[in-house]
Amino acid sequence: MREEVINCKNQALAQIMGAKDASELEDIRIAYLGKSGKLTSLIKAIKNIPEEERKQVGILINQAKNTIIEEIANKKNSFKISPREWFDPTIPGIPQKIGHLYPTSIVISEMISIFKNMGFSVMEGPEIETDNYNFELLNLPKDHPARSLQDVLYIEEPEILLRSHTSSVEARCLEKLKPPFRVVVAGKCYRFENANASNNAMFYHFQGFALQKGVSMADLKGTLFRFFKTYFGEDRKIRYRCKYYPEVEPSVGLDLDCKFCKQKGCSVCKGRGWIEMLGAGMIHPKILKNFGYNPKEISGFAFGIGLDRIVMDRFKIKDIRSLYNGDIMNV
Amino acid sequence: MKIPLNWLNELVALPKNKRVLTDALTSVGHMLDKVEIVNGETVIDLELRGNRADCYCLVGIAREVSAIFGTKIKYSPSVNLTKVAKLKNTSLRVATPLVKRVGMVEIRNVKITKSPDWLSRKLAIYGIGSVNNIVDLTNYVMLETGEPMHAFDLDKIGNNLEIRLAETGEKIKTFQDLTLSLTKEDLVWAKAGNILSVAGAVGEKYHSISETTKNVLLEAANYERANIRRTVYRHNLLTEAGIRHEKELDPNMVESAIGRFLYIVKKYGWGKFIPEMYDYYPNKVNAWKVNLDFNYLRGLGGVDIPKKTIKKILLGLDFKIFKQSKDGLETLVPTYRTDVICEEDLIEEVLRIYGYDKIPAHTLSLEIPKDITPQFIRQEEMLRNASVSCGFDEVISFSFVKEDYSKYNLDPEVFDQKPICILNPPSPDTKYLRQTLLPNLLGNCQRIINEMGEEVSLFEIGKIYTKSKNKYSESRKIGFIFWQKNDSDFKVFKGKLDAFCNKSQIDLPEYINDIKNMPLSYSYNLKLENRIVGFGGKVEDIFYAEIDLDEILGKERKYISKLWPKYPPQIEDITLSFPEKTKIGDVIQTIKSVNQLINKVELTTIYKENYTFRIWYQDPARTLTDKEVEKIRKKILEEVKRKFGGVMKV
């Protein structure tokens, strides 16, 4: 019996050595290890040999079997060019339904992640607001010239309205939160506007503000530059200039170089070479006083960005109306 | 504001390179909008700051140029005036505290002519048509000094003028032939019952200067800004005068403007006058004090500017420094700078002339405050990602519902609840706020179906707006909408919602039949932990569901990883047939509750009234024997028969 096993093994190894392809190897495997293979029949015959030898032979058969399996595998791997099935990789895949985030959501979360790294938290507030939070507390008393620039949508004139900027959330945070804090807000705002290519009755604002002892114009500049350079690229040029907003003093306007015309002047930048991106400044002392702070003891900055313009720029959307009217395809 | 460079150059020296000029003006707050060539002249158009009433004129911009470049301003010559309480032919009664100052002079033997070239050309740059020398001169002096003025035909208006509030319904025909019906808030110049002009905005036709005018009454005045502003917007009178009067003008400009006007009249021999100005000026405005603390400037500005530079900047801007110490300055603000009220305004003055570009950019080097982002904001982000991973596309839509979809804009719970209405909608489609996310998602869905859709699955996270008991509220919702081209199947939609719940780690809600205040062909409530958290239903062949985000906030399970079981399950398929209208969800619940060794029950196929269930029997601690399984199976069949009349098919 022992000899038979050894012979069987040697025979198999010799055949494996001589095999020329995978199918020949498969034939060899069946011939030895298949249901009625040579080695398989020896295994079956093991019950016929004397008990005292059975264990020894069993071990031997097992070794032989493992060796054959191993050698077949080795030989298979040794074929340099293994024979393959014919295959058409150009056949189209079967479409699988996946979901997409909306462009505005993508931009908001990208922007938030940059500000989070600078220690900002995220907040929200009501869209149905009172005149008090939307205007009065923000140094925008009735008849203030800046009010006509943002004619509001009223629910109950003159007190209940749809917020015209996210500064209302700034007012609510100044009232509610304990400094120091740094907050960004992204949300829907509304104004009296007949829809055209660049204005909508609803739009998104992205607002940021910080209240902390020692915050200065230099911190504001650093924060804004860090954001714009991170989001739009280190090579972009930034213009940082004086502007007027009633909510801040001193006030800042920030422009980005127009990349469409490389600052030569085009329709996107209205020939200016610069695109107005944001308004900012140090929170107005009147506002700080409205919330019980002494401007000489604690300072803060605030900035506001029209978010839709960034979304349009990022996703090459030309007409603001298509942003929220179902025109955008998800593909 | 358009600024012709030649004209500006008459008042102040300009840098040779106009780019240097416009860059500097932009930096200090007057952004260059565009450069134009008008009639061969270079005109720069500046976007002025709304609080700089003093800059809406050539002199104002010349002062800025002078402060930036340290060049001296050359003020135009004017006539010195003696102030009197009465004029020879005119008396004025001011019947309201809304008037801060009025200056008037009489000019006699006036020669009304065509304007000289230099005058009409300057006005043409502003699109102001030439009328005659006197009218044109009022406009010219306004453009130069910033003070609007008005000339009346003295012989037509006669004596006894008054400035008062109009009576409701009083009418005025403007010189542009426009008839306005006034309100009792509009401030007017009048003589008896005749309105002569709407103060600060527009003059009447009959009393204006005409070719036959012999004598002129010239007035320049200063009014309560807010009142003029309301009038200007009420009657749409954004005239050159209106644009200036609705801002905070300096009452002291009145005198210098009239003096300038008379100088030109005299120079060209257009009339005769005594240099006496009637002056109504009950509360004279003097320069006011604003102090500057160097430390505060450094702290707020984030930049250390030498004291010498600070002083030089303020002096260049016409501020008087009447006291100084090592800590700061006490200054007097020139009265035309009506925008400089507090110390921070003064700090901005110093910073803007010093240069915003010289402020260093620090990244907040202070202590990082703790993250106070509320949980609901993280929840929205998490649910947004969960929905996307379940194959839903996100939509953000208007908070308004279009007219065409208003029949879907119902509060699902409250019958007869009208949506919140905008009082002044710019269009009918922005009139009603949404009470559910359904109408807009439906609109989006139908749009895609019409375009090219095979399958539509959309979601939106957003607010809905309702009012109850005079309280407005906003609730955060997530809405899902689903449609398939062939055999739109509720089971697929429900499977997607299940997947969403799994991904968001919320328990699967119960679906309970219900009747909603909505045009749905059927509807159901979604119930979680014994609370209604949302609803769903079908519109045509489109499926919709909406979940309240606050109701599921904080109900997320903590994710715990599970290991593959050590002992294999026994799996078998059982086909059962049921009477009509049997709720299969309940059947599955019943099967599961028979024994805790039943690990999972799935519905695999439905054929007519026959339902095949795949049942997993599994004990975590050992392999179940056939006998044990058989016992459980027997119990299942008993229960199903007892409760639902279900019978096993062999």
Model pLDDT for residues B183-224, shown as the tens digit of each residue? 999 999 999 888 999 998 888 888 888 899 999 999 999 999
Residues B169 and B318 in one domain: no
Asked if B51 reaches chain A (Cβ–Cβ under 8 Å), the answer is: yes
Size of interface A-B (CB pairs under 8 A): 242
Task: Report pLDDT digits (tens) over B141-164.
Answer: 999 999 999 999 999 987 889 999
Of residues B1, B606, B65, the one with CA closest to residue B317: B65
Residues B233 and B270 in one domain: yes
- Answer yes or no: are the C-beta atoms of B591 and B639 closer than 8 Å: yes
What residues in A contact B430, CB-CB < 8 Å?
153, 201-202
Residues B130 and B219 in one domain: yes
What residues in B contact A101, CB-CB < 8 Å?
384-385, 388, 394
The set of residues, in sequence order, having a beta carbon less than 8 Å from that of B349 and lying 6+ positions away, is B313, B314, B317, B319, B340
Tell me how close the Cα of B555 comes to any Cα of chain A, in angstroms: 21
Q: What is the DSSP letter of A149?
A: G
Q: Which two tokens stand for residue B63?
A: 């002062």
CATH number of the domain that B499 lies in? 3.30.930.10
CATH number of the domain that B220 lies in? 3.50.40.10
Burial class (CB in 10 A: 0-12, 13-18, 19+), B177: exposed
What residues in A contact B463, CB-CB < 8 Å?
127, 188
The set of residues, in sequence order, having a beta carbon less than 8 Å from that of A45 and lying 6+ positions away, is A1
pTM to 2 decimal places: 0.85
Lowest mean pLDDT among A121-125, A311-315, B452-456, B568-572: B452-456
Residue A331: predicted pLDDT: 60
Tell me the backbone φ, ψ of residue B592, rounded to 5 degrees: -60, -35
Q: Please identify, among B524, B552, B580, the residue that sits at the C-terminal boundary of a domain.
A: B552
Residue B344: predicted pLDDT: 96
- Domain limits for position B329: 288-358
- Answer yes or no: are the C-beta atoms of B156 and B206 closer than 8 Å: yes
CA distances (Å), origin B194, targets B87, B227, B620:
21, 21, 100
Q: Across the 650 residues of chain B, what is the mean pLDDT of every consecutive 10-residue run?
A: 96 95 96 92 92 95 96 94 91 94 96 95 93 95 96 89 93 87 94 89 86 94 93 89 92 97 97 95 96 96 96 96 95 97 96 96 84 96 96 95 92 85 91 96 93 88 92 96 89 95 94 87 93 94 96 90 89 93 92 93 91 94 92 94 89
B365–A201 C-beta distance less than 8 A: no
Q: Please identify, among B11, B45, B69, the residue that sits at the C-terminal boundary of a domain.
A: B69
What residues in A contact B426, CB-CB < 8 Å?
153, 192-195, 201
Q: Which two tokens stand for residue B145?
A: 């000094």
Residues B401 and B515 in one domain: yes
What residues in B contact A215, CB-CB < 8 Å?
364, 366
In a domain, B637, yes or no: yes
Percent of chain A's residues with pLDDT above 90: 53
Q: Which two tokens stand for residue B341?
A: 């009220």
In a domain, B75, yes or no: no
- Answer yes or no: are the C-beta atoms of B12 and B66 closer than 8 Å: yes
Residues B236 and B91 in one domain: yes
Q: Give the residue-averaged pLDDT of A113-139.
A: 96
Q: Give the residue-averaged pLDDT of A150-175.
A: 92
In a domain, B565, yes or no: no
Is omega for the bond preceding B116 within 30 degrees of 0, making it cis? no
Q: Give the residue-averaged pLDDT of A66-73.
A: 87
In a domain, B397, yes or no: yes
Residues B192 and B115 in one domain: yes
Residues B316 and B408 in one domain: no
Residue B287: predicted pLDDT: 96
Indicate the SS3 state at residue B635.
Answer: helix
Q: Listing from the earlier edge strand, what are the strands of the sheet with B288-293? A: B288-293, B328-333, B320-324
In a domain, B366, yes or no: no
Q: Closest-CA residue in chain A for B344?
A: A249
Distance, CA of A297 to CA of B2 (rounded, Å):
42
Find the CB nearest A145 among B229, B293, B384.
B229
Residues B397 and B427 in one domain: yes
Listed ranges A51-60, A188-197, B469-478; the one with the highest mean pLDDT? B469-478
Residue B295: predicted pLDDT: 96
Residues B26 and B112 in one domain: no
Total number of domains constituting chain B? 5
Q: Which of B228, B248, B344, B350 to mutate to test the interface with A (most CBs of A within 10 A)?
A: B344
Task: Report pLDDT digits (tens) over A224-262.
Answer: 999 999 999 999 999 999 999 999 999 999 999 988 888
CATH number of the domain that B9 lies in? 3.30.56.10
Within 395-434 of B, beta carbons closer than 8 Å to A belong to 395-400, 420-427, 430
Integer-rounded Cα Rg, in Å, for chain A is: 38
In a domain, B431, yes or no: yes
In a domain, B172, yes or no: yes
Residue A81: predicted pLDDT: 58
- Answer yes or no: are the C-beta atoms of A147 and A154 closer than 8 Å: no
For chain B, how many helices (H) and strands (E)? 18, 31
CATH number of the domain that B603 lies in? 3.30.70.380
Asked if B447 reaches chain A (Cβ–Cβ under 8 Å), the answer is: yes
Q: Please identify, among B252, B280, B308, the residue that sits at the C-terminal boundary of a domain.
A: B280
Residues B444 and B461 in one domain: yes
Burial class (CB in 10 A: 0-12, 13-18, 19+), A121: buried
Q: Give the residue-averaged pLDDT of A298-310.
A: 94
Q: Which of A242, A263, A331 to mutate to test the interface with B (most CBs of B within 10 A)?
A: A242
In a domain, B564, yes or no: no
Burial class (CB in 10 A: 0-12, 13-18, 19+), B647: middle
Residues B63 and B105 in one domain: no
Interface pTM, i.e. ipTM? 0.89
Find the CB nearest A250 among B351, B424, B459.
B351
Q: Which two tokens stand for residue A188?
A: 């829907």
CA distances (Å), origin B625, targets B511, B567, B597, B628:
36, 12, 12, 5
Q: Which two tokens stand for residue B350?
A: 């110093």
Residue B588: predicted pLDDT: 94
Residues B499 and B611 in one domain: no
Residue A204: predicted pLDDT: 96
- Answer yes or no: are the C-beta atoms of B217 and B189 closer than 8 Å: no
Q: Which two tokens stand for residue A152?
A: 């509001």
Tell me how close the Cα of A244 comes to any Cα of chain B, in angstroms: 6
Q: Give the residue-averaged pLDDT of A152-175.
A: 94
